[in-house]
Amino acid sequence: MTSSVSSDQSMPLAMAAVEASANLADLTRADFPLLGQTACLGQPLIYMDHAATSQKPRQVLDALQHYYDHDNANVHRGAHQLSVRATEDFERARQKVADFIAASSAREIVFTRNASEAINLVARSWGDANLHEGDEVLLTLMEHHSNIVPWQMLAKRTGCVLRFVDLTDCGELDLNDLRQKLSERTRLVSLAHLSNVLGCFNPISEVTAEAHRFGALVLLDACQSLPHMPVDVSRLGCDFLVGSSHKLCGPTGMGFLWAREELLDAMPPFLGGGEMIQDVYLDHSSWADLPYKFEAGTPAIGEAIGMGVALDYLNQVGLDRIHAWEQQLTLQLFDRLQGIDGLTILGPTPQQEPDRAVLAAFTVDGLHPNDIGALLDSAGICIRSGHHCTQPLHRHYGIPGSARASLSFTNTPEEVDRFAEELVSTIGFLREHS
């Protein structure tokens, strides 16, 4: 059967072949319909909330529409041509994920609804089977709630103990504290690759080397790093990795878990039902092969196909070029924000950490971040305000929340300048009327 979605990465882009230093925003924005709209009062929309969810290129939107227009059928179950085509594209998307992170096999890729479900899968399956009272799970103070709450629930079920690695004064992972807290009781280290608030780039290869010395496994939350730089699981040395489609220019409701095949083989299923079985009897069942024993029920077929096309898109733009362009934006963003009186940015600067995330979470003396976000929105600028699903981190800094501008390769230097100018105006207005 002829597949409905091309398996190569030669789909047309609005960009031309350019050097890594080129302005990727000018070359890609035409692929993103949402970014061309006008906001309230006629201003051009400026989207700076990519750390929460990315925008989707037309190629992804077209792939979703094509699936539902031409190939809508359940996968793995039907012999008819629609099912065969849907299955081919669905499984091709799995291979694209494996290639994107340099996994050794598509059998190591489990499709989930999102990264949160992927972490819960590990906690429920591997955690319930392997952790006991007194065992330790080592986390960090910067973790997203999705990488805290599942382990709290596991601790209540098993009696294992959660410990947290501290931060340095500039907002980076404290490797010395990590080394001090690792022990023979540590069974798992689970941490973010890039912090969604501090922006810090964690030295995962060093973390995995230290953890493996004690026989501990390492789970990596790569949601913030995957859209912005190359990620190779073999080089990082981690044992589990989770990602989310909607931060990768793909559809919502789709994510994945990668784990070493021998780990997945040994883990019991997470959910029961159709698709994940080999044989079902009245009193027992046997499980399907990897990765299907972890994928109960009808999956998000169109969303998986869309995620695969999104990865094609990012690969064609080039992750190295994306990272280089975003480094320039980060320098500009910090330069503009650091000159604003009373504004404090959380986390290391680009000078302290050149590979930091292309975002800035900040506070302004005497002002609530929600007020800042609301007034910027009235000027057509979309940022985020609140705790960003990191309440323990904000408590660590003694603040209820922060404002956050998070960019991507589709943002322009002109947008950074306009954001900074509107922010200065917003701060002045709020101080005058407070």
- Which positions are catalytic? 389
Distance of CA 128 to the CA centre of its chain: 25
Angstrom distance (rounded) from CA 99 to CA 230:
11
Q: Which amino acid is present at 125?
A: S
Task: Give yes or no for a contact between 423 and 66, defined as CB atoms under 8 angstroms apart.
Answer: no
Among the listed residues 36, 37, 33, the one whose alpha carbon sits nearest the alpha carbon of residue 58: 33
Helix (H) or strand (E) holding 190: strand 186-192
Report d(CA 89, CA 312) in Å as an integer. Answer: 13
**3-state secondary structure (DSSP) of residue 304:** helix
Contact, 5 vs 313, CB < 8 A? no
Q: Tokens for 184?
A: 């023979």
Quick one: tokens of 192? 């973010």
Contact call for residues 383 and 404 (beta carbons, < 8 A): yes
- Residue 405, SS3 per DSSP: strand
Instruction: List all residues 6 or more positions away from 133 whose beta carbon is below 8 Å from its beta carbon.
Output: 158, 159, 160
DSSP for 249-302 reads TS-SS-EEEEE-HHHHHHSPPSS-SSSSEEEE-SS-EEEPSTTGGG--SS--HH
Angle of CA points 142, 151, 245, to nearest 5°: 65
Contact status, residue 240 vs residue 103, Cβ threshold 8 Å: no
